Structure 1
Amino acid sequence: MGNTVFADTNMNKPNSNINPPSECPMHNKTETLNRPSECPVQHDKSDEVNPYNMMPPANQQPSPGQPFSLSVQRQVSSIPRAMPDGSTEFWVYPSQQMFWNAMLRKGWKWNDEDIKQKDMEDIIKIHNANNEQAWQEVLKWEALHAKECGHPRLKSFGGKATQYSPRARIRSWLGYELPFDRHDWIVDRCGKEVKYIIDYYDGGEVDSKYQFAMLDVRPALNSFENAWDRMKVMYMRYRYQFIGDNEQPKKLTT
């Protein structure tokens, strides 16, 4: 989250020549929990696209000429989804096969890449860890409103990799790299919709937890409340980073 962000960790691509689809998202379990919910992969729009995750019906079928079989197992995320009827489900990440098919829809050609079955396994782990980290950063912002709502949920999201946020553009003018991806998440704060912007920056090598990206997560500047939250966080960071040491109680000496 930059200067007004809470987080800075995530994941890298095992093969830099592979361009997977945009990341998908991701506690109190005080509500009735139902079946898991579909997790998105961004792609061209059609009449069948789910408006909550920009994803078509799950395609678990191997593609023509696919060089190896891929797992169709899907992992349930820790990210609660706000349902229209007020119940809670959990977003479900795409399988390796779904991810492969999504990459093909976006124009990727597997025969142009030196890709192995293990690469797809790593991509899925990176993808899932990336979104879990993003949700944890959203929860840090939502902690500012814990009294108002103790169980925020993710309502919808979408990838905007080519639509850079104003902050990302300003950073690029100052000489910093542009993010490799952007997501806009809509969080249901107990009936109130709150928009978050997430910029994903390349953080280097993938670590043992499949993390590599640096996340800039913050509420969108589309309401006074969001702007006030960002100002509060900026002040807190300044207070405890620059003048906090001077306000520590002095130890008594004998």
Structure 2
Amino acid sequence: MGQSVSSASNNAQCPVDHNSLKAASCPVDHNPIKATSNSAAQCPVDHKSLQASQKPAECPIDHGSLNSLNQMPTLSQGRAPNQTLDLPTNRTESSILRDTTTKWEYPSPQQFYNALVRKGWETPEEHVETMVQIHNFLNEQAWQEVLKWEKRASDNTADIQLARFKGRPGEISPKARFWLLAGWLLPSRFNTEPPFDRHDWIVRRPQTGEEVRYVIDYYSAPPEPDGSPVFSLDVRPALDSFASVKERIAFATEEVWADFRENRSAGISKRDQ
């Protein structure tokens, strides 16, 4: 929990849009992607061949431009100028509840491509479908990390909803700043790259009506030996309420004790050998 990583060995309409990792499997058949709990820096749509003409990596979906009627990004399904390939316009339903009856949908490949074009990113059209699958996969993994935090507050997370979300690329969170400082001081131990994107997700707990803000930092990690890209996520409740502060402290304390017990057990085993 906290941070998670994905690689191009595994691959969420984007409700979106450092060192501990978990694995997951990607829906893309050609290359796999993995997910874990700890993060690094570059866009989920940024394979080497899909880089966006020297522009900073970030999610192409403008999460701030939401339709006031349905809280969904307004994205065109029409072909972009000079587009040469037909791209699918079907949208994939996510596993993330938007309200009591509906779930969020991810953008179609055509909408995703239009968002890239609007931002001026040069993207091979034949790779867009794979990029969408990676994008969706990363956000599904982010939601699973959110649910892990929510399970600490209640055993029943089946009705937890993502009420709203906002993309905040370029706004570095305090925790990300801390890790950047750590990387500057100890580059051999910590990541020196900033997150390529940041999202704020507002999660609603229907049983109490409470809303909790989560911060998600998206990082890129070193690629797999075969060149497959790896991404990681740092997901945690924002420190804007007493309950969230308490939960973050409790979780950090549990991690420290777990590491201590593991190291102590390892030391005892070595002495017994």
Counterpart residue number, 1:17? 51
Once residues 219 and 126 of structure 1 are traced to their aligned partners in structure 2, the CA distance between those partners, rounded to angstroms, is 24
Counterpart residue number, 1:92? 105
**Structure 2-normalised TM-score?**
0.70
Query: In structure 2, the residue corresponding to 1:74 is in which secondary structure?
Result: coil
Unaligned stretches of 5+ in structure 2? 4-17, 21-35, 185-191, 269-273
Aligned sequence identity (%): 35
Counterpart residue number, 1:187? 203
RMSD: 3.2
Contact 1:187 1:196 in 2 (8 A): yes
- Paired residue for 2:215, among 191, 197, 202? 197
Shift of 1:106: 2.0
Task: Report how many aligned residue pairs link the two structures.
Answer: 220
Equivalent AA in structure 2 for residue 221 of structure 1: L
**Structure 1-normalised TM-score?**
0.74
Shift of 1:44: 7.0
Query: In structure 2, the residue corresponding to 1:213 is in which secondary structure?
Result: strand
* Alpha-carbon distance change, 67 to 22 in structure 1, aligned in 2, over 3 angstroms: same
Aligned residue runs from structure 1 range 100-139, under 5 A: 100-108=113-121, 110=122, 115-117=124-126, 119-139=127-147
* Alpha-carbon distance change, 105 to 132 in structure 1, aligned in 2, over 3 angstroms: same
Equivalent AA in structure 2 for residue 13 of structure 1: D
Shift of 1:16: 4.5
Contact 2:91 2:108 in 1 (8 A): yes
Counterpart residue number, 2:244? 226
Query: In structure 1, the residue corresponding to 2:178 is in which secondary structure?
Result: helix
Once residues 224 and 119 of structure 2 are traced to their aligned partners in structure 1, the CA distance between those partners, rounded to angstroms, is 24
- Paired residue for 1:8, among 27, 31, 38? 38
Once residues 9 and 129 of structure 1 are traced to their aligned partners in structure 2, the CA distance between those partners, rounded to angstroms, is 15
* Alpha-carbon distance change, 71 to 89 in structure 1, aligned in 2, over 3 angstroms: same
Equivalent AA in structure 2 for residue 204 of structure 1: P
Counterpart residue number, 1:77? 94
- Paired residue for 2:62, among 33, 37, 42? 42
Counterpart residue number, 1:33? none
Contact 1:220 1:226 in 2 (8 A): yes
Query: In structure 2, the residue corresponding to 1:8 is in which secondary structure?
Result: coil
Equivalent AA in structure 2 for residue 199 of structure 1: D
Aligned residue runs from structure 1 range 133-148, under 5 A: 133-147=141-155
Contact 1:158 1:183 in 2 (8 A): yes
Unaligned stretches of 5+ in structure 1? 24-40
Once residues 235 and 135 of structure 1 are traced to their aligned partners in structure 2, the CA distance between those partners, rounded to angstroms, is 23
Shift of 1:247: 7.7
